[in-house]
Amino acid sequence: MYVVKSPLADADLKTVSEALQGALVDLVDLSLVAKQVHWNVVGPRFRSVHLQLDEVVGSARTHSDTVAERASALGVPPDGRAASVASGSGIATAPAGWIKDTDAVGTMVDALGAVIVRMRERMNATGEADPVSQDIFIGIIADLEKHHWMFQAEHA
């Protein structure tokens, strides 16, 4: 059906679109995991962690929108459906039920760490093929590493 005349050559387009699709799935899952913990956290640091997690949710939602619209702009339809997220995400499944504040922080350190590793691979893979997409990954990493640092600092 519909075809956007992509400004990229075919091989470059393949590289970039795989990176964008992978990032989309990770970021949507990150927003769901952070919300899950936001609702289930308990313990003396409840309020502080509860608020901090909503900032992660906000970041993840904004970045997933940017990534999906970039894919569309290059002519590749993005896939952010629940089943695709559940099967393709790089984040380990979060535990069910109430979660102590200490464990909540640990869960987020792991989740962010896993996403950052994969996002850096995408940044390296796309620099040649499309500097515009790479620039988007760079911005996302800077933001995720800042969140990562904060949860690590609290975990010290």
Q: Which of residues 64-83 bind its own copies (CB under 8 A)?
A: 65, 68-75, 77-83
Q: Quick count: other Cβ atoms within 10 Å of Cβ 50?
A: 16
Paired tokens of 135: 């620039």
Q: Quick count: other Cβ atoms within 10 Å of Cβ 72?
A: 12
Shortest Å, Cβ 22 to its own copies: 15
Decide: is 15 part of the binding site for its own copies (CB under 8 A): no
Query: Of 89, 111, 115, 122, which one interacts with its own copies (CB under 8 A)?
Result: 89
Query: Of 20, 23, 27, 33, which one interacts with its own copies (CB under 8 A)?
Result: 33
- Cβ distance 137 to 119 under 8 Å? yes
How many residues bind to its own copies according to rule CB under 8 A?
A: 74
Shortest Å, Cβ 85 to its own copies: 5
Query: Of 15, 40, 114, 125, which one interacts with its own copies (CB under 8 A)?
Result: 40
Report 92-151 residues binding its own copies (CB under 8 A): 93-94, 96-98, 100, 102, 113, 116-117, 120, 123, 127, 131-132, 134-136, 138-139, 141-142, 145-146, 148-150
Nearer to its own copies by Cβ, of 63 and 70: the residue is 70
Nearer to its own copies by Cβ, of 14 and 48: the residue is 48
